[in-house]
Amino acid sequence: MKTIRVVLGDQLSHSISSLQDYNPEQDIVLICEVLSEARYVKHHKKKIAFVFSAMRHFALELEDMGKRVDYIRLDDADNTGSLKGEVERAIQRHEVKKIIVSFPGEYRVLEDIRTWQRIVSVDAVEIREDTRFLCSPADFREWAKGRKQLRMEYFYRDMRKRYDILMNGDAPEGGSWNYDAENRKPPTHALEVPATYRAKRDAITEEVLTLVGKRFADHFGDLEPFYLGVTRAQAKRALAKFVAERLLHFGDYQDAMLEDEAWMYHSHLSFYLNCGLLQSLECIEAAEQAYQVGAAPLNAVEGFIRQLLGWREYVRGIYWQEMPGYARQNYLGAKRDLPGFFWSGKTKMNCVQQCVKETRENAYAHHIQRLMVLGNFSLLAGIHPQQVNEWYLIVYADAYEWVELPNVSGMILFADGGLLASKPYAASGSYINKMSNYCSNCAYKVSKKNGVDACPFNYLYWDFLARNRSKLEGNPRVSMMYKTWDRMTEDRKIEIVADSERFLTSL
């Protein structure tokens, strides 16, 4: 039976399930650049260029391997602009009877795929499990069944045992499952952070950059400089560079932030992992090998592995278990609009300004910048979850809804009421001051708790707790803060509320 094997833009892996058992006499691989995927939210220009260039390189690799590829470019004259439309056209061109595709990364795409058989004249549409992930949605549902609370730590431990990662028999390597307490060192002295991986651009990438510059000029973000790897070989070099140069200090400084230092000791591999150029298990094994040969300490290696084997798989499990309702969650009733400075960076809060600037430049910010600066502000200010989710999906080149939505709605905004995280990750300016040097160059004073020149995080933190007392007071990880609030004088409480209203109104 003649078959089209559809490969999506975040499935650029030679081992993807949709390409297994490929029959060179019967099968065609279909890869499409379509406007609907580039514009369903107005993605960062650098993300569009990265994905399109990686898609074009991947198609050439498949052809070099002897596969027949039907590649649709964005500027092809007959491009319908939608994935479904291009599947229909391909069926007519090739007279196929079956479609094979791997499970997609976004619920809206899955819903679209489920309509294909009704719309097009094929005998079957086969949706295969995406075996690049280490826990299938079905396995996650089985793990979650009967549990009163879903906590990543226990999921992570089970995954460590299942894959025999950092294990010493039945016990965790070093005697502890989690070394997070050792991974919170502030940047108290000058750090010599190695440069991130920067790939050389070829003619294919240059052509894509020209296309994106013309067709998506109104999208957020800087297109240049463009330095991301766009092939499997380049992604592997990025992994090797991280393990050799930054993994050593990743654990110690993974929460640290420095002005004009966007990359720190993080891996910057999420670009490649989330589009398929790297596999999570190969990254995990590379880090574990570094520990075994003494090239990196346990706290760094365990912290990195926990992000992949624990957190990455956990949020995907939550996403597929809870969709589509998860996208509508708003437990705290947040309704404020996203401030304009999330796009322009024009704010006197230096921490926010720095994180927005680096996001605009790189289509990247590391997880503490996303969680404890931009996310923390969004939480404290009560910004509507749908607007915050859209912003995160737009601005980061590693963002796909399966990973973005649980992190934002669950981890950042507590919009799911505690399904994913055990408490809201709210913090005052003192946390940002401890973990960064942002406050030293800020127009606001982090040492001041109230007044027009006080750090807004300081009074917004208490105002957030006061506004949401009925929903948060019973949380054992937050209840102590309400005892502190109750000990404040009425004048102090009035001042906090007044400062917050003044600031939030100014947005």
How confident is the model at residue 138, as a pLDDT?
Answer: 97
Global confidence as pTM: 0.96
Q: Going from the N-terminus, what domains does the chain have, and what CATH number goes with each?
A: 3-128 (3.40.50.620), 137-194+246-322 (1.25.40.80), 341-506 (1.10.579.10)
Task: Please choose, from the candidates 419, 424, 391, the residue with its C-alpha nearest in 3D space to the C-alpha of residue 317.
Answer: 419
Rounded CA-CA distance 457/445 in Å is: 10
Task: Please choose, from the candidates 198, 206, 188, the residue with its C-alpha nearest in 3D space to the C-alpha of residue 268.
Answer: 198
Count Cβ atoms below 10 Å from residue 199 Cβ, excluding itself. 18
CA dist list (Å): 213 to 44, 137, 473: 11, 38, 50
Query: ∠ at Cα 55 (201, 112), nearest 5°?
Result: 150
Torsion of CA 174, 180, 182, 188, to 10 degrees: 160
Asked if 12 contacts 54 with a C-beta cutoff of 8 angstroms, the reply is yes
Q: Which helix (H) or strand (E) holds 387?
A: helix 385-395
CA dist list (Å): 160 to 154, 155, 298, 302, 357: 10, 9, 14, 10, 37
| Amino acid found at 281 | L
What does DSSP say about strands 27-32 and 69-72: parallel, antiparallel, or unpaired? parallel
Task: Please choose, from the candidates 283, 206, 201, the residue with its C-alpha nearest in 3D space to the C-alpha of residue 238.
Answer: 283
Q: Which two tokens stand for residue 141?
A: 């549902």
Rounded CA-CA distance 217/244 in Å is: 37
Query: ∠ at Cα 372 (257, 331), nearest 5°?
Result: 170
Asked if 213 contacts 45 with a C-beta cutoff of 8 angstroms, the reply is yes
- Tokens 């947005």 correspond to 507
Task: Please choose, from the candidates 233, 293, 299, the residue with its C-alpha nearest in 3D space to the C-alpha of residue 265.
Answer: 299
Rounded CA-CA distance 313/55 in Å is: 24
Rounded CA-CA distance 279/290 in Å is: 17
Per residue of the chain (507 residues), give pLDDT as tens.
799 999 999 999 999 999 999 999 999 999 999 999 999 999 999 999 999 999 999 999 999 999 999 999 999 999 999 999 999 999 999 989 899 999 999 999 999 999 998 876 788 999 999 999 999 999 999 999 999 899 999 999 999 999 999 999 999 999 999 998 888 889 876 788 999 999 999 999 999 999 999 999 999 999 999 999 999 999 999 999 999 999 999 999 999 999 999 999 999 999 999 999 999 999 999 999 999 999 999 999 999 999 999 999 999 999 999 999 999 999 999 999 999 999 999 999 999 999 999 999 999 999 999 999 999 999 999 999 999 999 999 999 999 999 999 999 999 999 999 999 999 999 999 999 999 999 999 999 999 999 999 999 999 999 999 999 999 999 999 999 999 999 999 999 999 999 999 999 999
How confident is the model at residue 405, as a pLDDT?
Answer: 98
Rounded CA-CA distance 449/8 in Å is: 50
